[in-house]
Amino acid sequence: MATYDYESGKERVDAILNNELKVIEKAIPSDSSFTFENGYYGWVTGIFVDIRDSSTLFADENQVKVSKIVRSFTSEIIEILRDDDNLREIGIRGDCVYAVYATPSKSDIHELADKTFYVNTYLNMLNKLLQKKDYPTIKAGIGMSTAEELVVKAGRKDVGINNKVWIGSAVTKASNLSSMGNKDGISPLVYSSVSYSNFIDALIKDNGEKAKSWFTKKSDAQNGTYYHGSIIKTNFNKWIESNI
């Protein structure tokens, strides 16, 4: 049985705690810029897409069917979210697809909001395809949040097991907001107040003042002020209606 070398472990932890972390304030860079001695502080936006009532779906006895539904859900959402030069992390956590981006400018945040509109519309397409197969349809909450965060590399320096850790509210809040979407009267798309305030002007410029009416403002003790809605990409949705 393998034993844990706690004496060496104590030395490693001491080295971490005594290290002077170099914090660099700039747009969050790609992985190659991160070391175990530095960290980057900058504007970050997280997007989480979380299946509603996934426990019921996963409990279905037809596991092949469930696997096809989950793979269809994850495949195209990843495709929508991954196509961005500012992407810094993307992955799957259980029943949730997530992505994290560097967003140094308002235009970056507007582009990510547009991605969430595509995701929301894609779910319409997926459900039509599932209906044609007599498979159960799915609902999802789509959360997006923006904040300044400290990003560091964490793990074991000498064994190649490491990943970035996002220290701040953007990623955590995006996850929380996604868990609220499409539930208890909240629309599928849910945005933090910082995300909303950074993309709403661009939406108004493109669509007029009516864009404000697409969102409902709410607040709670955990998440503060947030905005929810159910925006879709019109041309995409017309194609769905005509072709599926």
pLDDT for 62-102, tens place per residue? 788 888 888 889 989 999 999 899 999 999 988 899 999 99
109-125, pLDDT tens digit by residue? 999 999 999 999 999 99
Q: What is the pLDDT of residue 2?
A: 59
Overall average pLDDT of the 199-218 stretch: 96
Q: Of 175, 185, 191, which Cα lies nearest the Cα of 48?
A: 175
Q: What is the pLDDT of residue 3?
A: 61
Residue 6 confidence (pLDDT) above 60: no
Provide the CATH number for the domain formed by 43-144+173-243 in this structure: 3.30.70.1230
- pTM confidence score: 0.90
8-29, pLDDT tens digit by residue? 866 777 776 677 778 888 788 8
Cβ count within 10 A of residue 207: 12
Residue 213 confidence (pLDDT) above 80: yes
Output 162 or 199, whichever has higher pLDDT: 199
Residue-range domain boundaries for the chain: 43-144+173-243
Question: With 0-12 CB in 10 A as exposed, 13-18 as middle and 19+ as buried, what is 189?
Answer: buried
